[in-house]
Amino acid sequence: MALLTEIAALWVRDLLRRTLGGRPEQTAWLHLGYWEDPRRSSQVAAFCSRYLWAGAVVYLATLVSLSLLFKSAKRMKNAHGQQAHADGKRDSKRCSAPGSTPSLVYMIWNAVVSFVAFLALSALVKEDASTFLSPLFRLPSNYRPVTRAVVSLVAPGTFAFFFADTLLCLALERPRLTFTHVAGHLYFPLFLNYCVETGLSAVHTLVLLHLAGLALGRALAVSSAAAFFVAAPFARREGEPRSAAKGVLAEQRNRASESTHKHQRGESKRACEERASSEKGEVSSAAEKERETDDRGLWAFFTWCERVLEVMQSWVTAAVCCCALYDPTTGLLAGASSMWTACKWGVSMETLLSYYSMSMYLSHYHKELRAFMFTFLVYFHMFAFVGVLMLLSHRSAWHLFFEVIGFYMVGGLGITCGAHRLWAHRSYKAALPWRISMLILNSFANQGSIYHWSRDHRVHHKNSDTASDPYDSSKGFFYCHMGWLLYKKPQEVLIAGKDIDCSDLLEDPCVVIQRKLDPWWNQFFCFVLPGIYGYYVYNSFWLGFFVHGALRWCMTLHATWTVNSVAHFWGDRPYAPKTRPSESIFTSFVAVGEGWHNWHHMYPYDYAAAEGGVFENYNPSKL
**pLDDT digit string, tens, across residues 406-454:** 999 888 888 888 888 888 888 888 888 888 999 999 999 988 889 999 9
Rounded to an integer, what distance in angstroms lies between the CA atom of residue 195 and that of residue 155?
10
Identify whether residues 185 and 263 lie together within a single domain: no
- Band (pLDDT 50/70/90 cuts) for residue 266 is very low
Helices 397-413 and 552-564: crossing angle, nearest 10°? Answer: 40
Identify whether residues 447 and 588 lie together within a single domain: yes
Identify whether residues 514 and 403 lie together within a single domain: yes
Helices and strands, counts by H and E, the chain? 27, 0
Q: Which tens digits make up the pLDDT trace of 494-515? A: 888 888 888 888 888 889 998 9
Identify whether residues 253 and 208 lie together within a single domain: no
3-state secondary structure 305-351: HHHHHHHHHHHHHHHHHHHHHCCCCHHHCCCHHHHHHHHHHHHHHHH
Q: How far is CA 423 from CA 294, 415, 419, in A?
A: 51, 10, 5
Q: Which tens digits make up the pLDDT trace of 480-498? A: 899 999 998 888 888 888 8
Domain count, the chain: 3
Domain annotation covers residue 15 = no
DSSP string, 111-161: HHHHHHHHHHHHHHHHH-GGGTTS-S---GGG--HHHHHHHHHHHHHHHHH
Identify whether residues 302 and 393 lie together within a single domain: no
Q: Which tens digits make up the pLDDT trace of 32-84? A: 666 677 777 788 888 888 888 888 888 888 888 877 776 665 666 555 555 54
Identify whether residues 341 and 388 lie together within a single domain: no
Identify whether residues 138 and 178 lie together within a single domain: yes
Please choose, from the candidates 178, 268, 593, 575, the residue with its C-alpha nearest in 3D space to the C-alpha of residue 584.
Answer: 593
Q: Which tens digits make up the pLDDT trace of 116-162? A: 888 888 777 776 665 555 556 666 666 777 778 888 888 888 888 88
**CB contact at 8 A, 514 and 521:** yes
Rounded to an integer, what distance in angstroms lies between the CA atom of residue 271 and that of residue 263?
8
Domain annotation covers residue 352 = yes
Please choose, from the candidates 493, 410, 411, the residue with its C-alpha nearest in 3D space to the C-alpha of residue 452.
Answer: 493
Per-chain mean pLDDT for the chain: 75
The pLDDT value recorded for residue 473 is 86
Q: Which tens digits make up the pLDDT trace of 574-585? A: 787 777 888 888
Phi-psi region of 524 (alpha: psi -120 to 50; beta: other; left: phi over 0): alpha
Q: Does position 518 have pLDDT exceeding 80, yes or no? A: yes
* Best mean pLDDT range from 12-26, 61-75, 242-256, 456-470: 456-470
Please choose, from the candidates 568, 551, 415, the residue with its C-alpha nearest in 3D space to the C-alpha of residue 479.
Answer: 568
Domain annotation covers residue 179 = yes
Identify whether residues 515 and 597 lie together within a single domain: yes
φ, ψ for residue 140 (rounded to 5)? -60, -25
Identify whether residues 323 and 195 lie together within a single domain: yes
Identify whether residues 394 and 538 lie together within a single domain: yes
- Band (pLDDT 50/70/90 cuts) for residue 620 is low
**Residue 535 CB-half CA count within 13 A:** 9
Record the pTM. Answer: 0.76
Whole domain around residue 263: which residue ranges? 243-288
The pLDDT value recorded for residue 220 is 85
Identify whether residues 311 and 435 lie together within a single domain: no
Helices 491-499 and 450-462: crossing angle, nearest 10°? Answer: 100
3-state secondary structure 277-300: HHHHHHHHHHHHHHHHHHHCCHHH
Instruction: Considering only residues 39 and 545, tell me which one the structure prediction assigns the higher pLDDT.
Output: 545
Identify whether residues 308 and 352 lie together within a single domain: yes
